[in-house]
Amino acid sequence: MGWKGILGFDYGVVQAPLGPDISGPELAAAVANAGAIGLLRLPDWPAPDHVRELIRKTRSLTEKPFGAAIVLAFPNEENLRVVLEEKLALLQVYWGEFPRERVDEAHRAGVKVFHQVGSLEEAAKAKEAGVDGIIVQGREAGGHVIGQEGLLPLLPRVVDLVSDSGILVIAAGGIVDGRGYAAALALGAQGVCLGTRFLASEESFAHPLYKKKLIEVNCTDYTNVFGRARWPGAPQRVLKTTFYDQWKNLPNQETEENQPIIGHTIIHGVHRDIRRFAGTVPNATTTGDIDSMVMYAGQGVGLITEIIPANEVVKRLVADAQHVMREKLSDFPILSENH
């Protein structure tokens, strides 16, 4: 399978849902038009009318199938209902339980389900629930990271776990180019899910300064400094900006709730204040002290050197993976029968 496609898509490439609204209609549609799987990031609060508007705007930009993602740690029933009513190609779920009855409900609507996991135990639950695909997130990933294991040891264990089920396995975490894609295929995955690389695309709704930092800052850190009050127990991987380095040892009792307002933003049509240490990344509408806001990124960020269109991300990813598989791995020595 690999770059020959999954679930009817041209390529086994998934654009990660970038919160809170960085992967909007423009990005999801551009990825879909390139033959990959574009995912809308839906609100973390009930907003069914807005969700329907997002879906319909995306459909105005592409005739290709696409999907949407919800975070199970937040209220999702009303938004999920719209996804099923609109019969999207794919629903991605993350950070919580999604039992068989909910998977069956999606299947009755004609919607495939991918569950993103960070451990073998989570993967086993997803398998039992009957999902169509499992996205295996390694600790290398940017943003909120649910597991503690690196992708290299975790991915093949999940591949082995579901080998008798027909469930697709997608690799996520630190993958930004064709070498990472080829490595994931070698470990048994059928595709890859990229967040940071699509974050640094022209169609991403990230603030221009955020995109600039993705090119300039090559290092990340795993932390719990940001968003402690709103989403406790949800560590994240962030860019090691000057602001982060200054505050990375923030005492555990400190949260964003008692901090000054440093900016303002509009997220899914809702005006919000941004307090210092909030878990809200700056989008294209954000004003204020952008340098002092959280900026999520995965460990592969150091391999990103330019902001390019999303279709170019897909094109390069596939071409480079093909090159690696054809040119680099074809010379691998074959064990002689005499040894």
pLDDT per residue as tens, the chain (339 positions): 444 577 778 899 999 999 999 999 999 999 999 999 999 999 999 999 999 999 999 999 999 999 999 999 999 999 999 999 999 999 999 999 999 999 999 999 999 999 999 999 999 999 999 999 999 999 999 999 998 999 999 999 999 999 999 999 999 999 999 999 999 999 999 999 999 999 999 999 999 999 999 999 999 999 999 999 999 999 999 999 999 999 999 999 999 999 999 999 999 999 999 999 999 999 999 999 999 999 999 999 999 999 999 999 999 999 999 999 888 766 666 666 665
- Which of the following CATH numbers is that of domain 2-203+311-328: 3.40.50.12240, 3.20.20.70, 1.10.287.70, 3.40.1360.10? 3.20.20.70
C-alpha gyration radius of the chain: 19
**Other residues' Cβ atoms within 10 Å of the Cβ of residue 121:** 10
Q: Is 32 helix (H, G, I), strand (E, B) or coil?
A: helix
Q: Which residues of 257-270 are buried (b: 16+ CB within 10 A; e: fewer)?
A: eeeeebbebebbee
What 8-state DSSP symbol labels residue 278?
-
How far apart are the C-alpha atoms of 261 and 255, rounded to whole Å? 13
CATH 3.20.20.70-classified regions of the chain: 2-203+311-328
